[in-house]
Amino acid sequence: MLQSAAFPKREQVPWVVRAWQGLSPAVRVVGEWMRVTLKKPFVTHAPLLREGCRLAKVCARVFRGWRFARRPAGGCVPPRGRVRRSLAHAGSGMVLGLGLLMAACESPLPPPLVVGMNSWVGYDPLVLARDRNLIDTTQIKVVELTSSTEAMRGFRNGLIDAAALTLDEALRLAHEGQDLRVVAMLDASAGADAVVARPGIESLEALRGETIAVERSAVGALMLTRLLQEAGLRPADVNVLNLEASLHLEVLNNGKAGAAISYQPLVGALKNAGFHVVFDSTGLSEELFDVLVVRASTLKERPGQVDALIAGWRDGLDALTGDRPSVAADMARGSDMTPDQYLETLGGLVFYDPAASLQLLAGQPPPLVHGAQRLVQTLIAAGLLDQEPDWGRLIDPEPARRVMSAGNPS
C-alpha cells in the first residue's frame, strides 16, 4: 500500500518512452549501416539513401511530437535513471541518423560522362575542346586510347559511356547486342586513310604476293577492297595480316608486312620511318564516316551531359576551323607530324557540325542510311554483319536537335 502510494500507476513508464527504448537498438543498427555505407562511393547508394529520406521525415515528425508532448497529469515526474539514459541515447542516435539521411536527400551530382577515342585526327575537335577548356570537365571526360579496338572493348565492358568510332564499328557493337545510339556525325575521310608501303613497292600492281597489315574493321576491309579493285588484283593475290594499327610500324620494320592500311596521325609516323603512301581514301568520303555513339541508358538518364558533349564537339570544331595554323602547331606536338603535315591531313577530312549532323540523322529514313548502304554490304560480305541494321532504333537525332535549339552561347 505504501509502495502503491509512493509510485502511483501513472508514474510507470509511459508507452512513448517504452517505444523509444525499443527503437534504440534499431537506431544503433542504422547508425552502423550509415557508417559502413558512407565509406563507399556516395553515388552508388544515392537511390537507397533518397528512399531513406522519406523515413527520415516521418521520424522527424515523431521525434518532434515526443519532444514537445505534454507532461502526464497527476504530478508525475519525467522518466529517470536507466529510462532517461535510454531515451537520451535513442534521441541522440536518431538525431545523428536523421542528419545523415536528410543530407542524402539532396541528389548528388552525376559522375562525368566518359567518352573514349583513338588518336584519329578526325576526333581532334574533342581533344581541342578539352585542352582549351571549351568543355566542362566536371560533366565530360575525354579519354584518348591507343586504338579503336580498345575503344570498342572499353564500351563493351562499361568502362566508357560514349565513344567516337567509325560507323562500321558502331554497327558491329550494335550487332553484338550493345544498346547504343548514334547521336552525331563527326567526320568523313577524304584522303586521311591510306595504304603505306615499303620502299621498292612503287605501284599498286607491285603489291601482288605481298602481306598487307590491316586492322579488322570495315574501314580496313573497304580500303582493301578498293585497293584491289584499283590494282586489278584478286583477294588471293595478297596476304592479309589482321593487326591493330598501332602495331603496323613494327611489322613493316621487321619485314613481316610489305604494306599497311592505316590512318592519320599513324600514317605520319609511318612516312617519317621511310615508308610511303601508294593509295588513300580520296573519293571515299561517302563511305567512310565517323560517328559519336552513346550508351542508351546514359542517354536516357543523363541527356544534359550528352548535349554538353555534342556542344563541346561544336566548340572544338569552331576553334579548329577558326585558326587552323595555331591548332596545327598545338596538335602536331602530340603526334608524329609536323604542323604542315597536320594541315595536309585536315585537308583530307570533312567535318560535321551539329547542323550538318542533324541533316544526316533526321528524316524517314535519315540520309545517313542511304549513304551507308555500300558500307553495310561490305560488312555483310566480310562476315562482320549478317543483316541490315535496325536504323530506327540505332539513330537518335534529338540531342543534336536540342543543341541546335539552344544555340551557341559563345
CATH number at residue 263: 3.40.190.10
Are residues 78 and 136 located together in one domain of the fold? no
Listed as ranges, residues in the chain with pLDDT below 70 are: 1-108, 218, 285, 408-410
Are residues 36 and 182 located together in one domain of the fold? no
Q: Cell triple for residue 135?
A: 568543355
Q: Where a domain ends, among 252, 280, 308?
A: 280
Q: Where a domain ends, among 104, 126, 145?
A: 104
Are residues 166 and 209 located together in one domain of the fold? no
Strand bridging mode 180-189 / 259-263: unpaired
Q: Left, alpha or beta for 116 (phi > 0: left; psi -120 to 50: alpha)?
A: beta
Are residues 275 and 295 located together in one domain of the fold? no
Are residues 228 and 365 located together in one domain of the fold? no
Quick one: pLDDT at residue 318? 96
Distance CA 131, CA 92 (A): 50
Quick one: pLDDT at residue 197? 95
Are residues 68 and 160 located together in one domain of the fold? no
> How many distinct structural domains can be found in the chain?
3
Using DSSP's 3-state secondary structure scheme, residue 57 falls into helix
Are residues 123 and 146 located together in one domain of the fold? yes
Are residues 13 and 90 located together in one domain of the fold? yes
Q: Residue 37 is inside which H or E element, if any?
A: helix 15-37
- Are the C-beta atoms of 56 and 105 separated by less than 8 Å? yes
Quick one: pLDDT at residue 49? 46
Q: Cell triple for residue 164?
A: 567516337
Assessment of whether the complete model's pTM goes beyond 0.75: no
Which of 369, 367, 344, 345 is CA-nearest to residue 356? Answer: 367
Strand bridging mode 211-214 / 259-263: parallel
Distance CA 384, CA 123 (A): 24
- Are the C-beta atoms of 403 and 314 separated by less than 8 Å? yes
pLDDT in tens, 224-275: 888 998 899 999 999 999 998 889 999 999 999 999 999 888 888 898 899 9
Q: Where a domain ends, among 224, 245, 280?
A: 280
Length, in residues, of the chain: 410
Are residues 200 and 251 located together in one domain of the fold? yes
Are residues 186 and 197 located together in one domain of the fold? no
pLDDT in tens, 73-106: 444 444 434 444 443 444 445 444 545 444 445 5
Percent composition of the chain: helix, strand, coil (DSSP 3-state, to 5)? 55, 15, 30
Which residues form the domain of 202? 193-280
Q: Mark 111-121 as b/e (b = at least 16 C-beta within 10 Å).
A: ebbbbbbbbbb
| Residues sharing a CB contact under 8 Å with residue 114, sequence separation 6 or more, in sequence order | 141, 143, 159, 160, 161, 162
Are residues 275 and 292 located together in one domain of the fold? no
Are residues 76 and 91 located together in one domain of the fold? yes
Which of 116, 182, 166 is CA-nearest to residue 376? Answer: 166
Using DSSP's 3-state secondary structure scheme, residue 189 falls into strand
